[in-house]
Every structure is written in structure tokens, then in C-alpha cells.
Amino acid sequence: MMGFFAGAMLGFFGMLVGVPIFLGLCRVLGLYTTVEERTCRVYVLLGKVVAVLDEPGLHLLWAKIGWKAFLVNWMGRCLVLDLRLDQQYLRSQAVNSEEGAPMGIGIWYEMIISDPLKYLFENADPRGSLAANVSNATVRCLSNMKLAAMLESRHVMSRTVRAEVTPMSHAYGYQLGSVYIRKVHFRDIGMIRQIEEKVVNRLRQVTSAIRQDGANQVSIITSTAERQAAIAFAKAAALRPQIVGAALQRVAQDPPIAEAMFEILELQRLQEGTAKVTLIPEGQKSDLLAQLLVAAPAQSR
């Protein structure tokens, strides 16, 4: 049993160390290679392309390029390209509107390597060349547009630039994806300041107009309410004598009630007045006492 376990352990560690070493030697000798997802391997031997592998998975080089597979890793080279979607943003491309306003356009675009051989061997800087073409197409196609259209129709401008650059991008091994105008702005600081001042002044004018309109509406409402109130008070003042006269006419039909009412009104007027009134008791009421009180000086009373 001990011999069995010892052999198993030796076999396990031998496989753990030996298999990676064996597979590495096979790759060095060019027997096989693995291509990862969204990558491409280009094998060059003695200045010539002998294989282009862009399908992910395991590939047997000797089955594809024959005896060259044993020399390509020693005398040649393997170029690995990234085929994933890439993006780039070009800031403030200088254009002029039809009115002569200096504008800046920020353009964002996507690209993907569609032809590895053109990408590698037909241009020293394909990414820079594509960016230059996008910039030139932006300036050439979007200059002399009306300022209003340049500020509003970004989708149309994006499609115009894409249609212009797509045929040229294939020459560099690229396939152009989405193109989008992300930003349109003024480049002249003085013009920006003037626009800001005009906007501020316009906002002040609109604010003043709103305030004046509100004040006018309030004045109209106030004057209408005052006029209606004056009409109502005038109608009330005109109806008051009629109402009072009708009430007095009904009271005058009963003489005791009329006499009592007029006495009460007379007493009320006396109380409201500023004159001094001397009351004589009922038991001492005589003409002599009244004459004496009237003839007495004001200080003694």
C-alpha cells in the first residue's frame, strides 16, 4: 500500500509539473497554439505572412502551415491583435458656420479592426490616420452650415461624417462603427461673453415684462372691485331713504309707538351731544326750580 501511495504521489506531481512543461515545449516548437476570444494571431516568417488565425480556440499550426510551423517561433514572429470594439473622442474640431461664427465640434466614434493585414502592414499609424480622416471629414462636411442647424441637427451631422469616413477606413484595416457629435460650442471667448450678456439682458426684459403684466392685472382687478363696490354702495345709499321712509310710515300708523320712538331718538341725540343736562326729580318738579337752575351761574351748578 505504501508503494502504491508513493507511486500515486509521484505520478500526480509529475503530471502537475510535467504536463505544463510538455505543452510549453509543444507551443515553442509550433505544434499548436490557442487563440483567445476577440483576438487575432498573425504569423510572419522571413518577411512573409504565413498564417492569420482569428477564430478562437485550439489550432494545429503544422496542419495549417506545414513545416513552417517548426520555424515560425524561432525565425519569425507572432503578432497578436485586439479585435475588440474601440472608441475615441476628438475634442473641439474647428469649423465655421455660414454666418462666420467660429465653432468647435467634439466627435466620438467607434472602430474595430476588420483586416489585420492592412492594419499591420499598409499604414504605420492606422489609428492616427483614422483620427485624422475623421477630423478632416468633420471640418470639410460641417463647415458653412447654418448656425441654427449646427446647434440642433446633431444626428444628421453624425450620419454625414460617418458616410464620408467609412469608405476610407477600410484602407487602414478598420471598420467604422457609430459616429456621434457630442458637443457643439463657441470657440471665441468674446462671442461667448456677448451671448451671455444678451441672454442676461433678455431674461431681465422678460422678468420686467412679467412683473409689469402682473402689476397691470392687479390694477385691473383692484379697479374693477372698487367700481363694483362703489356701485353697490351707491345702490344701498339710494335704497336707504326708501327703506327708512317705509319703516317710518308703518310706525306712524300707531301713534303711541311713534311717540315712544321719537322720544327714544331724542334721548339718544341728547346723549350723543356735548351739552350738559340737569335732571329734576319727579317729586320736585316745578317751574320755579327750573327757573332757578337756569338762572344760576355755571360754576355754582
Q: 192 in a domain, yes or no?
A: yes
Q: 72 in a domain, yes or no?
A: yes
Domain boundary among 178, 211, 227: 227
Enter the C-alpha cell of residue 222: 383692484
Enter the C-alpha cell of residue 206: 422678460
Q: Are 126 and 119 in contact (CB under 8 A)?
A: yes
Q: Are 101 and 191 in contact (CB under 8 A)?
A: yes
Q: 176 in a domain, yes or no?
A: yes
**Is 93 in the same domain as 169?**
yes
pLDDT score of 210 more than 50: yes
Q: 193 in a domain, yes or no?
A: yes
Report which of residues 233 and 69 the model is more confident about: 233
Enter the C-alpha cell of residue 261: 320712538
**Half-sphere exposure in the Cβ direction for 7 (13 Å, CA):** 4
Q: 288 in a domain, yes or no?
A: no
pLDDT score of 251 more than 90: no
**Is 153 in the same domain as 180?**
yes
pLDDT score of 238 more than 50: yes
Pick from 116, 42, 93: nearest CA to 72: 42
The average confidence (pLDDT) of the chain is 82
Note the pLDDT tens digit of each residue in 73-107: 888 888 888 888 899 999 888 888 888 888 889 99
pLDDT of residue 182: 87
Q: 7 in a domain, yes or no?
A: no
**Is 66 in the same domain as 97?**
no
pLDDT of residue 300: 46
Q: How far is CA 204 from CA 184, 199, 201, 224, in A?
A: 26, 9, 5, 30
End-to-end CA distance of the chain: 150
**Is 130 in the same domain as 105?**
yes
Q: How far is CA 23 from CA 52, 98, 142, in A?
A: 22, 66, 57
**Is 96 in the same domain as 179?**
yes
Highest mean pLDDT among 20-34, 206-220, 269-283: 206-220
Note the pLDDT tens digit of each residue in 10-44: 776 767 766 677 777 777 777 778 888 888 888 88
Note the pLDDT tens digit of each residue in 64-74: 888 887 887 88
pLDDT of residue 59: 80
**Is 167 in the same domain as 217?**
no
pLDDT score of 175 more than 50: yes
Identify residue 265 by its one-letter amino acid code: L
| Overall average pLDDT of the 230-254 stretch | 81
Q: Cα–Cα distance between 29 and 211 in angstroms, integer?
A: 87
> What confidence tier does 280 reach under pLDDT thresholds 50, 70, 90?
low
**Is 52 in the same domain as 108?**
no
In this structure, the number of other CB atoms found within 10 A of the CB of residue 115 comes to 16
Residues with Cβ within 8 Å of residue 127, at least 6 apart in sequence: 88
pLDDT score of 224 more than 80: yes
**Is 123 in the same domain as 159?**
yes
**Is 153 in the same domain as 216?**
no
pLDDT of residue 4: 67
Strand, coil or helix: what is 108? Answer: strand
Highest mean pLDDT among 125-139, 186-200, 234-248: 125-139
CATH number of the domain within which 92 lies? 3.30.479.30
pTM here? 0.58
Q: 124 in a domain, yes or no?
A: yes
Domain enclosing residue 51, as ranges: 27-84
Number of domains, the chain? 3
Q: 101 in a domain, yes or no?
A: yes
Among residues of the chain, what percentage have pLDDT more than 90? 10
pLDDT of residue 12: 67
**Is 109 in the same domain as 145?**
yes
| Concatenated DSSP letters of 28-72 | HTTS-EEE-TTEEEEEEETTEEEEEE-S-EEE-HHHHHGGGGGTH
Domain boundary among 198, 227, 256: 227
